[in-house]
Amino acid sequence: MTRVWLIALTAAFLSVSTGAEARKVALVIGNSDYANTSRLANPVNDIKIIAASAKQAGFDDVTIAADLSVNDFQKAMRDFRAKADGADVAMVYFAGHGIEAQGKNWLIPTDAQLKSDLDLPYEAINLDRLMESVSGAQVRMVVLDSCRNNPFGRSWRSGTRAVVNGLAGVEADDVLVIFAAAPGQTAADGTAGNSPFATSLAKRLPQPDVPVQLLGGLIRDDVLAATGGSQRPFVSASITGTPVYLVPRATPTAPAASGDRSGLEELLWKGAMAENNVRGFSAYLAEFPAGKFAGQAGDNINRLLKNPGATAVPVTMAAVEDPAPATRPSARRFTLSNVRVECVKLTGRLGLGLPDQLFLRFNTGQRFPEGKSDIYSIKKGESWAVNQSFEFDQPVSLQLREFDDIGGSDNIGTIDIGEAPGTFTRTLDGDASDYRVTYTLTVA
């Protein structure tokens, strides 16, 4: 039976503010009791610990929704969108079945039958709709513990564009998205009544002195350790570089560990460089008045005050002298090169056999070609040799995207580049196209 309720006021939780006063709001959804596919044991348990940790983290309004049909799912999102409008922080957590099909991610209500992929828009929830429910908040978080196998796709007609395992990575502006597993991988349910991912999220969410920008990395480390490296959570972040703390910061008498401070400094500097304004550089100086980039931050502030249209001079961590190089681990560099995209089958835009218009997009926000008006036009049997290498300081995912006919773009497929060096070939078959992508990854 569908159950939607607000967490009751008990001595275990802080008092809930009224809707007008609530500044941090959360919607916690767990679908376990599926009518037409396998039941999931953990979501009904996971939402309890996530809701409790959200309350502990200072969320004023936490809504638990369990075993939602498609109509109830839509209503829960619509109601939460009103709560999230104007909030400081809005977070949605979903545990249940989720699949990638037609180049999109779908969350599955408990009454879905999905006899065909054509039923998806009517019986499933497009992830984009879920992200819209947090769009009115200043800080937006979407957490997906739904990277399981596709329980419906095996019965669909031949040629259906669906993947068997996991979800696809997403690129969303101004949203922190945390997946329980990397694109194309599945998440473990665990053996202790809660999934390893939910256990870590419940632990980290109320932790003091942790910016939300570092939350995904901490969860990733926890889950990797808990699963012996078999499950790696995935983070897609495109939010402000200014640290946002869910829990009030620790007192100055109890400073964070030096390793955490080093990571925070790099995060804050990258955020300041991305914002390229006085506020961003001032935020860095307020946190690290004697930091490695303090001199450059001051220079950039002066430059911007004198000429508001000026561009900050970029400085990377490697460009700053390390006062104790022997104590710092060497950063790894991932270089993606020799990317070649071969068209096996075209989308066939408008049924006229028109060429596909392609571009690459990484979960870091980088795209190639860089300009939104720049594309690569390709026909069946042709190849696109990408004449550029790409460097990253962490493992990334890559999307091959095609412009559609209404001004947007569709994801043909996502590749989790991973950490192992070598030359690889991947097949992508989303949006009615077939492509082979070959690339070389070197790690230094």
Summarize pLDDT for 392-427 with one digit per residue, the tens: 877 888 888 887 554 456 778 888 888 889 999 998
- Which is higher by pLDDT, 243 or 122? 122
Kindly report which listed range (68-82, 178-192, 217-231) carries the lowest average pLDDT score: 178-192
Q: How far is CA 95 from the centre of its chain?
A: 15
Give the count of beta carbons closer than 10 Å to the beta carbon of residue 389: 12
Question: What's the whole-number mean pLDDT along residues 35-40?
Answer: 86
pLDDT of 324 reads: 40
d(CA 187, CA 231): 6
pLDDT tens digits, 57-93: 999 999 999 999 999 999 999 999 999 999 999 999 9
* pLDDT higher than threshold 60 for residue 356: yes
Q: Is the dihedral of CA 73, 74, 79, 81 positive or negative?
A: positive
d(CA 311, CA 320): 19
Looking at the DSSP bridge assignments, the partners of residue 397 are: 416
pLDDT of 143 reads: 94
d(CA 334, CA 12): 46
CA angle 348, 105, 176 (to 5 degrees): 125
- Which is higher by pLDDT, 48 or 356? 48
**Number of residues that make up the chain:** 444
Q: Is the dihedral of CA 344, 350, 353, 355 positive or negative?
A: negative
What whole-number percentage of the chain has pLDDT above 90? 28
Measured in degrees and rounded to the nearest 5, phi and psi for residue 375 equal -145, 170
What whole-number percentage of the chain has pLDDT above 70? 67
Q: How far are the Cα atoms of 7, 11, 53, 56 from residue 49, in angstroms, in the given order? A: 12, 16, 6, 10
pLDDT tens digits, 329-338: 445 789 999 9
* pLDDT higher than threshold 90 for residue 349: no
- Give me the chain's average pLDDT, please: 76
Q: Which residue has the tokens 């348990």?
A: 45
Is the preceding peptide bond at 369 cis, omega within 30 degrees of 0? yes
Q: Which residue has the tokens 């499950």?
A: 231
Strand ranges (E), 15-85: 24-30, 61-66
- Taking only Cα atoms into account, the Rg of the chain, rounded to an integer number of angstroms, comes to 23
pLDDT of 319 reads: 40
* pLDDT higher than threshold 90 for residue 339: yes
Question: What's the whole-number mean pLDDT along residues 255-262?
Answer: 51
- Which is higher by pLDDT, 128 or 365? 128
Question: What's the whole-number mean pLDDT along residues 380-391?
Answer: 90
d(CA 245, CA 213): 9
Indicate the pLDDT class of residue 261, thresholds 50, 70 and 90. Answer: low
